[in-house]
Structure 1
């Protein structure tokens, strides 16, 4: 008899990110019209995913932090240029990596000011 330990399934993107904001929530928080939020998503200033039973468009709440937002577009571009789709990018940004300077996720490291390290890792990951 072999001892096979069941592997735990990877968390869903929705669970990995944790806290999401819908387009109306973002519009209210930023004080801009819904069309402005949709434009931010369309222009890849923010990435979104469809979440929940109703599959609503939502953005990770952490993307709206002042310490994170300025570094998103360039990081998205590096990962997309390496062939990652939006969901893969979101997955990578929110997957814990114990080898990063700040324990946690690449987004946590962006918030801590380590943009260069995160983008270097993104380049390595993407190629």
Structure 2
């Protein structure tokens, strides 16, 4: 008999898969578009609640900018600093995926893995 995984277990497994594919990531989390954390693997004492709220807010602002400029549906956005970046991906209409990277991360691989992860999250939510 096969046990059915809960939604939470599936989301946690999705983050684990992303972290396995890209072990250099500093953190990743899944949140609702309202900014509530659902699953996280942030590490180093980072407050997942704050990151979830900020990522959802940033995604909402990004969507408004895209709407204003007529740029179509927002898929992702980034915030860059000297010591790393945060990439924020829309996960359907209900979710947000935030990924924290070190400088010099392979962006092609990151976007491929994170977009697949965001799609999986959207399907789960």
Same fold (TM over 0.5): no
Which structure carries more helix by proportion? 1
Instruction: State the structure with bigger RCO (CA 8 A, min sep 6), 1 or 2.
Output: 2
Q: TM-score, normalised by structure 1?
A: 0.29
Q: TM-score, normalised by structure 2?
A: 0.30
Which structure carries more strand by proportion? 2
